[in-house]
Amino acid sequence: EAGVAQSPRYKIIEKRQSVAFWCNPISGHATLYWYQQILGQGPKLLIQFQNNGVVDDSQLPKDRFSAERLKGVDSTLKIQPAKLEDSAVYLCASSLRGLQSEQFFGPGTRLTVL
């Protein structure tokens, strides 16, 4: 079974630029999550999708972050404009039965904002 795919693996941008990350979850997983993991910290849940609808985005900084999951499969997370403090690994995960069950994580995208 293929795992969660993410691209790109690494991205370096300057502050105030925009960036987008892509995620393809495990086939059949209705729930998809985006996390932000700052170096030395645990992942922080940003947004949760059930199929193509947003379940919860209370931790997403909506003035600069946006996410979508068109057609209920792939998802993109965008940052515009980026700030220095956005430097982190952005993890995508998916699960069969919602947040309170095993989540399968992708390898993440490491973002560096200069």
Partner 1 sequence: GESVGLHLPTLSVQEGDNSIINCAYSNSASDYFIWYKQESGKGPQFIIDIRSNMDKRQGQRVTVLLNKTVKHLSLQIAATQPGDSAVYFCAESPDNNDMRFGAGTRLTVKP
Q: Which is nearer to partner 1, 19 or 92 (CB)?
A: 92
Residue partners of 40: CB distance under 8 A and separation at least 6: none
Strand, helix or coil for residue 34: strand
User: Residues 26, 61, 107, 112: which binds partner 1 (CB under 8 A)?
Assistant: 107
We find the least distance from the C-beta atom of residue 40 to partner 1, in angstroms, to be 6
Specify which residues 92 forms β-bridges with: 34
**Strand 88-95 and strand 31-37: pairing?**
antiparallel
Instruction: List binders of partner 1 among 53-82 (CB under 8 A).
Output: 55-56, 58
We find the least distance from the C-beta atom of residue 64 to partner 1, in angstroms, to be 22
| Residues counted in the chain | 114
* Cα radius of gyration (the chain): 13
By CB under 8 A, residue 104 contacts partner 1: yes
By CB under 8 A, residue 101 contacts partner 1: yes
Specify which residues 28 forms β-bridges with: none
Interacting residue ranges for partner 1, rule: CB under 8 A = 4, 40-45, 48, 55-56, 58, 91, 93, 98-108
